[in-house]
A = this chain, B = another copy of it.
Amino acid sequence: MNKHVLAIAGGVGGAKLVVGLAHTLSPQELTVVVNTGDDETFYGLHVSPDLDSVMYALAGLSDAERGWGLAGESWRTLEALGRLGVDTWFGLGDLDMATHIRRTEMLREGHTLSDVTRELCGALGVDANVVPMSDDPIRTIAVTDKGDLAFQDYFVKRHCEPRISAVHFQGADEANPAPAFAMALDGFEALVLCPSNPLVSVGPVLAVPGVFSAIERFTGPRIAVSPIVGGQALRGPAAKMLGELGEKVSCVGVAHRYVGICDVLLIDRVDAAHAEEITALGIRPYITDIVMNTDNDKTRLAEEVVWLIEGWNDSSR
């Protein structure tokens, strides 16, 4: 392809399509912008869960069975931290720990999160252009019946049990898109919203000043893949959160969140009955198999997305 694709992704779910896109497009054709709203300091180390999920997936190092983190992981340092009296509710493995140690060191030395991400990707042989949404701190806060909770507190510590009434993005107003994101926003020729949680994975990226409006006025193809299949999130709390925020718990709820910034929404065959509701929102449903289990699934779905982009012309909207 000769188009520059801007892909927006959260963690593990979105990373699957990113892997497919990276197989399908050259590094020059793709900028992957990743949510950093879940970033948090654990044990004094800067952890970027979504950046790492994308990076590990692209490097082929993810643990497919566990569904997060690195294959062949062990937990000796975390256990030793526990023996030192530290509350170790956030699991960081021994291999993963190296990433956070190195990131924290570089950030303390004055490097930006973009610099760190570039260096870590380079070291792991990832040649895709992976970019944090911002080098400035933005923190996703879940407003819940148990109070305002930082995302990892809500997601990992409390297993998404509190009922949410809103989500906001602390620091977003003062943040800037990371330089490579700003550059991509200036010249992208297609947008892909990966199958990530629209509220807390894609949402924070859209909250970075200038991003939503740039996508809104963009006239090229804007393709999203639903993270919800058959009323269930493929991973994580997207379904529960959509419901608690009054959205339909289906790909229609996803479509509703993307009104104005999405032209085509890929939904699963099992959701074909929702096609009409999505059309009514001004978004074209494209029905296919969107569950990605194997690397073949990832590449096949990415090829469909690219095919939709290539076939796009101004009369498509």
Measured in the bound complex, the distance between the Cα atoms of B90 and A289 in whole Å is 50
B80 near A124: Cβ-Cβ < 8 Å: no
Q: Which residues of B contact A124 (CB under 8 A)?
A: 83-84
A99 near B84: Cβ-Cβ < 8 Å: yes
Q: Which of A80, A97, A119 has the most CB of B within 10 A?
A: A80
Measured in the bound complex, the distance between the Cα atoms of B86 and A123 in whole Å is 9
Query: Taking CB as reference atom, which chain B residue is nearest A75?
Result: B94
Which of the candidate stretches A25-33, A102-110, A173-181, A279-287 sits at the interface with the other chain?
Answer: A102-110
Query: Taking CB as reference atom, which chain B residue is nearest A97?
Result: B77
Assembly stoichiometry (copies):
2
Q: Which residues of B contact A43 (CB under 8 A)?
A: 101-102, 105
Q: Does A95 contact B (CB under 8 A)?
A: yes
Q: Does A64 contact B (CB under 8 A)?
A: no
Give, as a whole number of angstroms, the nearest-CB distance from A138 to chain B.
Answer: 21
Give, as a whole number of angstroms, the nearest-CB distance from A45 to chain B.
Answer: 7
Query: A44-B108, A94-B94, A108-B44 are contacts. A101–B74 as well, Cβ < 8 Å?
Result: no
Interface size class of chain A, counting residues whose CB lies under 8 Å from the partner chain = 20 to 34
Query: Taking CB as reference atom, which chain B residue is nearest A105?
Result: B44
Q: Which residues of B contact A77 (CB under 8 A)?
A: 77, 94-95, 97-98, 101
Query: Per DSSP, are chain A's interface residues mostly helix, strand or loop, or mixed?
Result: helix
Q: Does A275 contact B (CB under 8 A)?
A: no
Query: Taking CB as reference atom, which chain B residue is nearest A72?
Result: B76
Query: Taking CB as reference atom, which chain B residue is nearest A109?
Result: B44
Give 21 CB contacts A-B under 8 Å: A43-B101, A43-B105, A44-B108, A45-B101, A74-B94, A76-B76, A76-B94, A77-B95, A77-B97, A77-B101, A80-B96, A80-B97, A80-B99, A81-B101, A81-B102, A84-B98, A84-B102, A84-B123, A85-B123, A86-B102, A97-B97
Give 14 A-B pairs besides A44-B101, A76-B76, A77-B77 with Cβ atoms closer than 8 angstroms.
A43-B101, A74-B74, A74-B94, A76-B95, A77-B98, A77-B101, A80-B95, A83-B98, A84-B98, A84-B99, A84-B120, A84-B124, A85-B122, A85-B123
B83 near A123: Cβ-Cβ < 8 Å: yes
Q: Which residues of B contact A86 (CB under 8 A)?
A: 98, 102
Measured in the bound complex, the distance between the Cα atoms of B78 and A123 in whole Å is 15
Measured in the bound complex, the distance between the Cα atoms of B74 and A94 in whole Å is 10
